[in-house]
């Protein structure tokens, strides 16, 4: 029996009893909150440590060697459980669920179970413990067991599990950064106590070599773990929830320090930056983000708005910035579709106004002329019927133009590959061209377009060149080119001066960067410079036409997203260039 009157023995007994009571009480409290991550393991760890401390107090105070040995044997499975509970806690707290399976935990605990069996039977073989004789050292009388080969293997195994659990906690800090700095520090600091106590028990440092320092050290470690889970973990729940939310956000989040270097990225940001972006200068890794010139910015076909917020410490010192990139691709697409729709409605309103103007003015004039001519014919004027026929033909031209104008400006919903040369020759073959000549120069290119409206455009430009001002040479309604369900007979010659008989019309293209420019020119009188900008306006006629022909050309071009302009022709006549026509792959 150890001498209880000596201060070292009293102090050690008090430490063991106090550690035992604290371990059991805190273990019971932790059991009620065992649903917390690592809570169950902390509860069992504290309970086992408390039992070990109380059993060791019995070993110190007992005078009977059999009682000492009995307390030692009872304490053996609790001691073997401690390293297994520690690494299980590390797995639970760090969220390493793949290692918390029943099979793997049983595998980790198997060496400890074998050591318990060997320790209990060591009197027959001495593999785990060498002896069971009481030894007196100063005021302490304790059973000194010694370490056999199996005992040494268990010590290495236990230290290996403690080291593995420590690495898991360190990896948690590496994965989560500063957000778990205090928790990981406390957990790692507590782990030092059983590790150092085990070394002090095995190695003689000049004090009482027979005294085991690990029971009280296990309780101290358990208190640290209790604090990590139930104090620091609870107080930091808001931070953990916020950080978890950031991790699962679909929008990229980039954290830059006050030195302009990237400190942290969430998974969404890692997908748009390189793997080694952390630590790089923000201006190098993501120059468009730092400059802020472009809003929204486009990355891999997606568009992002940038929200920048400063990071300051409690004293207001600048510590960096947080950049949140909100994916606004859907919003921008809706906005673009809305703008296109508004533009389309605006064009439709303009056409309605044009229709009203044509109906109220242009149609009214020939209608009035026809009515007057019919009245004169009734009174015997023979030429009046011819004037009435001219007026009706004029009204027919206007109606045809209005119908074509209604379809020309509709949005192009679908395009398909169209051969320019085939479209040009088809349109020419269906027009009444008289003595005019067509020259196609290297126009063998396939482009993406609405075929009917491309032919409508070409037909109007051809008519602009080949038709002249005399009524007899105008094409009749039956000679118009068919375009879907609507005739496209607008009188392009109504907009500019006519080339007359024997005109030569040339068609060519110019290729550039996946697009082509279609050029249609003639050798007629051409268009005055001052009129080239307004010939595509509805109602503008440089002759006696309807003023709708080239307006339809402009609408077809606009519906495709192309552009058209009147330029100097190679032979001095009218020349029209349509740009931005996409080449079919």
DSSP 25-74: HHHHHHHHTTTSTTHHHHHHHHHHHHHHHHHHHHHHH---HHHHHHHHHH
Distance of CA 406 to the CA centre of its chain: 42
Give the separation between CA 81 and CA 79, rounded to whole angstroms.
5
Cα–Cα distance between 226 and 23 in angstroms, integer?
A: 10
pLDDT score of 238 more than 60:
no
In this predicted structure, the answer to whether residue 472 has a pLDDT above a threshold of 90 is no
Residues 267, 247: contact at Cβ < 8 Å? yes
Q: Of 505, 510, 504, which is closest to residue 442 (Cα–Cα)?
A: 510
Alpha-carbon distance 260 to 278, whole Å?
11
pLDDT of residue 463: 81
Q: Which of 459, 519, 465 is nearest to 497 (CA)?
A: 465
Query: What values do phi and psi take at 350, rounded to 5?
Result: -65, -40
Taking a C-beta distance cutoff of 8 angstroms, is the pair 516, 473 a contact? no
pLDDT over threshold 80, residue 147: yes
pLDDT of residue 329: 83
Query: Is the model's pLDDT at 42 over the cut of 80?
Result: yes
Q: What is the pLDDT of residue 11?
A: 84
What integer is the mean pLDDT of 405-426? Answer: 78
Cβ-contact 491, 545 below 8 angstroms:
yes
Q: How far is CA 3 from the centre of its chain?
A: 72
Q: What does pTM read for this prediction?
A: 0.46
pLDDT of residue 47: 96
In this prediction, residue 273 carries a pLDDT of: 82
Q: Does the pLDDT value for residue 239 go beyond 90? A: no
- Quick one: pLDDT at residue 236? 45
- Does residue 354 carry a pLDDT above 70? no
- Nearest Cα neighbor of 401 from 551, 263, 260 is 551
Pairing of strands 318-327, 253-257: antiparallel
- Give the DSSP per-residue string, 170-185: HHHHHHHGGGGHHHHH
**Number of neighbouring beta carbons within 10 Å of residue 228:** 26
pLDDT at 205 over 90: no
Contacts of 225 (CB under 8 A, 6+ apart): 38, 42, 45, 46, 89, 187, 190
What is Dmax (Cα atoms) for the chain? 154
Residue 96 has pLDDT above 60, yes or no: yes
Per the model's pLDDT, the better-predicted residue between 340 and 71 turns out to be 71
CB count within 10 Å of CB 254 equals 27
- Which residue from 186, 184, 185, 216 is spatially nearest to 198, judged by alpha carbons? 216
Q: What is the mean pLDDT of residues 499-515?
A: 83
pLDDT tens sequence across 209-221: 678 888 999 999 9
Instruction: Quickly state the pLDDT bin for 75 (edges 50, 70, 90).
Output: very high
**What's the chain's average pLDDT?**
79
């Amino acid at each position: 029996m150890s001498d209880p009157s000596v201060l070292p023995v009293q102090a050690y007994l008090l430490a063991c009893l106090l550690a035992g009571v604290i371990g059991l009480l805190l273990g019971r409290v932790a059991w009620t909150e065992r649903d917390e991550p690592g809570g169950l393991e902390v509860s069992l760890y504290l309970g086992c440590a408390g039992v070990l401390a109380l059993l060791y107090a019995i070993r110190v105070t007992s005078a009977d060697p059999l009682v000492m040995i009995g307390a030692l044997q009872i304490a053996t499975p609790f001691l073997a459980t401690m390293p297994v509970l520690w690494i299980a806690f590390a797995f639970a707290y760090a969220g390493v669920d793949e290692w918390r399976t029943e099979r793997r935990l049983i595998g980790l605990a198997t060496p400890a179970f074998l050591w318990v069996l060997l320790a209990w039977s060591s009197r027959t073989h001495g593999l785990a413990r060498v002896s069971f004789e009481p030894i007196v050292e100063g005021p302490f009388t304790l059973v000194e067991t010694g370490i056999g080969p199996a005992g040494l293997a268990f010590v290495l195994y236990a230290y290996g599990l403690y080291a593995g659990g420590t690495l898991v906690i360190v990896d948690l800090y590496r994965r989560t950064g500063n957000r778990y700095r205090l928790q990981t520090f406390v957990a790692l600091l507590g782990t030092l106590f059983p590790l150092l106590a085990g070394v002090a028990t095995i190695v003689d440092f000049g004090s009482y070599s027979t005294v085991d320092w690990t029971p009280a050290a296990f309780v101290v470690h358990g208190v640290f773990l209790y604090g990590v889970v139930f104090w620091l973990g609870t107080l930091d729940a808001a931070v953990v929830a916020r950080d978890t939310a950031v991790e699962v956000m679909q929008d990229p989040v980039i954290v830059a320090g006050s030195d302009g270097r990237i400190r942290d990225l969430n998974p969404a940001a890692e997908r748009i930056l390189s793997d080694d972006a952390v630590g790089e200068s923000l201006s190098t890794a993501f120059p468009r983000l730092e400059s802020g010139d472009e809003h929204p910015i486009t990355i891999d076909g997606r568009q992002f708005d940038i929200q920048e917020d400063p990071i300051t410490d409690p004293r207001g010192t600048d510590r960096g910035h947080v950049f949140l990139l909100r994916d606004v691709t859907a919003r921008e697409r809706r906005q673009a579709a809305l703008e296109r729709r508004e533009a389309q409605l605006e064009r439709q309103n303009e056409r309605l106004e044009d229709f009203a103007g044509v109906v109220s003015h242009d149609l009214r004039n020939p209608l009035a002329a026809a009515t007057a001519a019919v009245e004169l014919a009734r009174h015997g004027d023979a030429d009046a019927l011819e004037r009435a026929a001219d007026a009706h033909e004029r009204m027919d031209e206007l109606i045809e133009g209005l119908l074509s104008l209604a379809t020309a400006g509709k949005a192009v919903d679908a395009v398909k590959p169209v051969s320019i040369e085939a479209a040009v020759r088809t349109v020419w073959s269906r027009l009444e061209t008289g003595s005019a000549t067509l020259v196609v120069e290297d126009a063998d290119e396939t482009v993406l377009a609405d075929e009917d409206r491309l032919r409508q455009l070409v037909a109007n430009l051809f008519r602009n060149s080949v038709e002249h001002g005399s009524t007899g040479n105008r094409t009749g309604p039956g000679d118009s080119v068919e375009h879907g369900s609507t005739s496209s007979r607008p009188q392009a010659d109504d907009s500019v001066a006519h080339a007359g008989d024997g005109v030569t019309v040339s068609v060519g293209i110019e290729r550039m960067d996946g697009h082509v420019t279609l050029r249609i020119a003639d050798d007629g009188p051409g268009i005055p410079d001052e009129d080239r900008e307004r010939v595509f306006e509805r109602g503008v006629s440089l002759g006696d036409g309807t003023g709708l022909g080239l307006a339809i050309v402009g609408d077809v071009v606009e519906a495709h997203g192309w552009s058209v302009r009147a330029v100097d022709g190679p032979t001095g006549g009218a020349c029209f260039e349509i740009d931005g026509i996409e080449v079919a792959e």
